[in-house]
Amino acid sequence: MITKAIIPVAGLGTRFLPATKAQPKEMLAIVDKPVIQYLVEEAVASGITDIIFVTGRSKRAIEDHFDYAPELEQVLEEKGKKDLLALVRQISDMARFSYVRQKEPRGDGDAILSALHLVGDEPVAVLFGDDIVDSKEPCLKQLISVFERYGNSVVALDRVGKKDVGKFGVVDAVSLGDGVYEVKDLIEKPKPEEAPSDLAIVGKYIVTPEVLSVLSKIQKPKGEELRLADALKIVSQKGGLHGLEFEGTRYDCGSKIGFLKATVEFGLKHKEIQEEFSMYLRGRAQEK
């Protein structure tokens, strides 16, 4: 049973400057909820009880967001805003939160290893803040189902256009049916003509102790980043990696256009604003 998730959030978020000059990229809000909360809610809905954030400098806002806020709660209570008070308290009570500092930006693999002492010898989920999936069943829960069936590490797969394969790690895989693949190899950012498929790995994983052990033994030249993909590639060539083409719509919130698409789609589903927002968009479309 998988109960822990690592969420690396130490990146600088340079693609969203100047908005991220003084706040973490992961705290940018889609409508009224920060991106990082969507990931935590996905994890909790998938059975995760312990969330481990790997942070860096200037990431204190994430810790504050998931902590209690006595002053705010007191004000809300005094003003009788019970719904908002319950909402604020619920954020802090969703899971048990731990925080580990990645001292230097040495890659996502190094970030994961920074949390190894909190994981122990058990499989763990890994979620990155760029990818939000809108689905009936949480994407992570879908991955956990594949892990429980095969016992291997699992990566989330999404089909991308040929012109975009160079932005991702792309798998060479054999279909096992129902969206499940046995991954034979993975190629990081291939040229379109060299890509083994159009199935790209996106930021959701189930990682076994085998992968973590391999990751901890990889030696990188000074100045070169250690990547989770380095270990997954080695394990895949030994038959220890599966992939799932998940059901749902992925939004790349690490890009401006992906973030805007997510904002529009979640805005259209938000009970408080969906009707007015939908009318506004229809009006804009007619003006064009």
Q: What is the pLDDT of residues 216-255, one digit of tens each?
A: 999 888 878 899 999 999 999 998 999 999 999 999 998 9
Q: Are residues 69 and 8 in the same domain?
A: yes
Tokens 């998931």 belong to residue? 66
Both 64 and 16 in one domain: the answer is yes
Q: In 3D, which of 104, 122, 242 has the Cα closest to residue 173? A: 242
Q: What is the pLDDT of residues 85-95, one digit of tens each?
A: 999 999 999 99
d(CA 21, CA 208): 35
Whether residue 246 sits in one domain with residue 264: no
Residues 178 and 277 grouped into a single domain: no
| pLDDT given for residue 288 in this prediction | 65
Chain segment 91-127, per-residue pLDDT in tens: 999 999 999 998 877 889 999 999 999 998 999 999 9
**Residues 191 and 269 reside in one and the same domain:** no
Same domain, 51 and 65: yes
Query: What CATH number is given to the structural domain containing 179?
Result: 3.90.550.10
Mean pLDDT of the chain: 92
3-state secondary structure of 224: coil
Q: How far is CA 201 from CA 161, 165, 168, 190, in A?
A: 13, 10, 7, 13
Q: Is the pLDDT reported for residue 136 higher than 70?
A: yes
Residues 208-226 have pLDDT tens digits of 999 999 999 998 888 788 9
Which among 10, 16, 256 has a CA at the least distance from the CA of 129? 10
Looking at the structure, tell me whether residues 33 and 69 fall in a common domain: yes
Q: Are residues 137 and 278 in the same domain?
A: no
267 in the same domain as 147: no
| Assigned token pair, 185 | 């190899």
Same domain, 183 and 282: no
Q: How many domains does the chain have?
A: 2
Diameter over CA atoms, the chain: 63
- Which pLDDT belongs to residue 3? 95
What tokens appear for 25 in the block? 């990229």
> 259 and 234: one domain?
no
What range defines the domain where residue 132 resides?
4-254
Answer whether 63's CB lies under 8 Å from 99's CB: yes
Report the C-alpha gap between 118 and 129 in whole angstroms: 20
Reported as a single tens digit per residue, the pLDDT across 57-87 is: 778 899 999 999 999 999 999 999 999 999 9
In terms of domains, do 34 and 141 share one? yes
